[in-house]
Structure 1
Amino acid sequence: MRFATVEESDGSVRCGVVVDDVLHRLPPGTNVLDLLRAGTLSESGDAALSEGDTVPLAGVRLLPPLEVPSVRDFVAFEEHVEGVRRSVEGQSGVVSEWYEAPAFYFTNPHSLLGAHDDVAPPPGCAVLDFELEVAAIVGREGADLTSEQARSHIAGYTVFNDWSARDLQGREMRVGLGPAKGKDFAGTLGPVLVTADELEPYRDADGFLRLAMTVSVNGTEVGRDLLSNMGWPFEELLSHAARGSRVLPGDVLGSGTCGNGGCLAELWGRSGARQPPPLRSGDVVEMWVEGIGAIANAVVDGVASADAPPVPSARRRDRQRP
């Protein structure tokens, strides 16, 4: 099944099952996260399909498919790491630590946008970029899961665009921490949550989902890859996330950016020039993933640095002691 959450013309938020561009609505007040927590997603979807309470998707705004408690975004594509490392650090190759275990950072679940929402860069950003990813949605709570156990804990998948302010990201990561203000202003999730069973036919002999992925800017394709080029399948990412910890229903696990033009920074690193150029107001970024669907977001003007709250520099202090 394919679950969506929408805002209708009267401002009400409804969720339901999508079939042929029609939303079969669940009862008012129902949401996908609660269904995951209750373990009743499939049964509720069947009930919605039998009720006949429908609305065309063309007349509603697609929101993220569910309210997300947390977002762990991995960096699972070797080709992406190669290109971006050259772009950011001017160095070739991949650090040996990347191969040892899946790496991720936590990003902001409160800034997620719908499949066709406008995106504004954060104050001070002049180098805006996209990142083409797939996200897995956790369906059941778990801790210290093996990869075999983890597969049954994945409820489904969706498309994820991890928008990036590369100039802000580059500055703050020199401090030695993960990205923060370079990332937490926007992330697109959608258009739907496709339940895991629908994508099983795409699984290859090595256990990876072989899904084609493309991204275009203003109608011109700039990236194309296969999800199966990940260094780890999602089950192993989830197992790592739950190692010495726990995952909860609704948690998002991003694949990280695919290779072969999954973001502009990778292309810049390979060519040595910012071509194609950073995104500008008016640009439209469209992403498509086989078996899931497409998202398309227009870039709009953001708040200028002069109009945002100032960022003070650190004050050097006399190091007194108690």
Structure 2
Amino acid sequence: MRIARWAVGGTVSEGFVVGENVIPFPERRTVADVLASGLEAAHGLHDAVAGGLRPDDAHVALAAVRLLAPLVPATIRDFVAFEEHVEGVSAAVDGKSEVVPEWYQAPTFYFTNPHTVIGTEDELSPPACERLDFELELAAVIGAGPSSTGANLRSNEADAHIFGYTIMNDWSARDIQSREMKVRLGPAKGKDFGTTLGPWIVTADELAPYVDPEGFLAVRAEVYVNGTLVGEDLVSNMGWTFAELVAYASRNSRVVPGDVLGSGTVGNGGCLAELWGRRGILEPRPLQRGDVVRMVVEGIGEIVNTVGEAVAASPVRAARKTSRARMR
């Protein structure tokens, strides 16, 4: 089952993708409504809508619509769950290829901006930067689960809160990110200008055949720049399962329907920074205006974005220096 949001002209609709058509939810329901109802209710709604589809029913060809991001996220947590990615990027940052011991102790994530999410085929508006990069990821989308609070879940409970999955591109301005993280905080402005989600949400049961005996999703992920394959990996190379990521996110906290949890960047060229770190040079070159980034994940589909013109930012004043002996 696939769930999407789309636009025709200025009208936005939300519903199911059935074959090569899109069918709106009845009674003006939204993706948020469906996530809050849970996966079982969504299947019942899908069967009622798609099962009664007739040639004269109001539906639209998928090719005739512009797909939007498949949901308006409540929050976006982005993990760093691939050891190979951590090792390669560390070399790009400080010249030393390593995975710090703390990485193995627990899954680490940061929060990114749900207000700058774009969909497939949208043009990315990056900040003015020297090292624009992509990050190939798979993301879990949270729906209603057996725990009404979504707090302090165990991994076996957390799995039932995963409604489905979507492809995620965590766009990154590496030079801005590097400056920020020297202050031991972030990433912030090096990330929050854009995140692609799409092309739709594929429900968890559809991907069940790809789950390996250890609970990992053994789906292939690929990224292309201007038609050239740059990176490829199996999502099952994660250090933790998605259920474990959800459980950790809920620790002393909550996950709620509409939350998005990114896997973090896959290894083996899932981003340019990993390759820069391993090769010691900016090869392939950083992304530039007009570049087309295409990501493909087995069992889900693909997202495609073109890099647009950089947006010049207003200058930032340097901080004043103050005396620590100053009277308070």
Shared fold, TM over 0.5: yes
2:180 to 165, 172, 175: 172
Give the one of 77, 82, 100 matched to 1:72: 77
Native 8 Å contact 1:133 1:255 kept in 2? yes
Moved more, 37-46 or 54-63: 37-46
How far does residue 236 in structure 1 lie from its aligned partner after superposition? Answer: 0.2
In structure 2, which of residues 112, 115, 126 is the aligned counterpart of residue 107 of structure 1?
A: 112
The amino acid that maps onto 2:253 is S
Does residue 1:195 correspond to 2:203, yes or no?
yes
Q: Distance in 2 between matches of 1:106 and 1:119?
A: 20
- For structure 1, which runs of at least 5 residues remain unmatched after alignment? none
- Name the SS of the counterpart of 2:223 in structure 1: strand
Residue aligned with 1:246, SS: coil
**Aligned match of 2:142:** 138
Question: Which structure 2 residues correspond to residues 20-31 of structure 1 after superposition, within 5 A?
Answer: 20-27=19-26, 29-31=28-30
SS across alignment from 2:123: coil
Find the aligned partners of 1:255 and 1:126 in 2 and give their Cα distance: 26
Contact kept? 1:73, 1:253, Cα under 8 Å: yes
Q: 1:162 aligns with which of 151, 170, 175?
A: 170
**Which runs of structure 2 are paired with 1:1-322 in the superposition (5 Å)?**
1-9=1-9, 11-27=10-26, 29-39=28-38, 40-49=41-50, 50-51=52-53, 52-122=57-127, 124-140=128-144, 141-304=149-312, 308-319=313-324, 320-322=326-328
* 1:82-136 per-position Cα deviation (integer Å, ceiling 9, x unaligned): 00000011112200000000000000001000011001211x3121000000000
Matches of 2:28 and 2:310 in 1, distance apart?
33
Cα distance in 2, alignment partners of residues 110 and 131 from structure 1: 18
CA displacement at 1:38 relative to structure 2: 3.0
User: Hey, what's the Cα distance between the residues in 1 that align with 2:27 and 2:294?
Assistant: 31
Fraction of identical pairs, as percent: 58
| Range with greater deviation from structure 2 (11-20 or 31-40) | 31-40
The offset of 1:28, in angstroms, is 6.1
2: CA distance between counterparts of 1:176 and 1:164? 17
The CA deviation string for residues 47-96 of structure 1, in whole angstroms up to 9 with x for no partner, is: 33134431112121111111101000000000000000000111122000
Residues 142, 259 of structure 2: 8 Å contact kept: yes
Q: TM-score, normalised by structure 1?
A: 0.96
How much does 1:44 deviate? Answer: 2.4
For residues 244-303 of structure 1, give each alpha carbon's deviation from its aligned partner in whole angstroms, at most 9, with x where no partner exists: 111110100000000000000000001001111000001000000000000000001022
Size of the aligned set, in residue pairs, is 317
Q: What secondary structure, in the 3-state scheme, does the structure 2 residue paired with 1:97 have?
A: helix
Alignment partners' CA distance in 2, 1:173 and 1:29: 44
Q: Give the distance between the partners of 1:43 and 1:84, measured in 2 at CA.
A: 44
Q: CA RMSD in A?
A: 1.2
Task: Please state how far the C-alpha of 1:7 moved relative to its aligned partner.
Answer: 1.1
After the TM superposition, list the runs of 4 or more consecutive aligned residues in structure 1 that deviate by more than 6 angstroms. none
Return the offset for 1:27: 3.0
Asked if structure 1 preserves the Cα contact closer than 8 Å seen for 2:37 and 2:143, the reply is no
Residue 28 of structure 2 aligns to which amino acid in structure 1?
G
What secondary structure does 1:17 align onto? strand
Q: Distance in 2 between matches of 1:84 and 1:233?
A: 22
> Which ranges in structure 2 are unaligned for 5 or more consecutive residues?
none
**TM-score, with length taken from structure 2:** 0.94
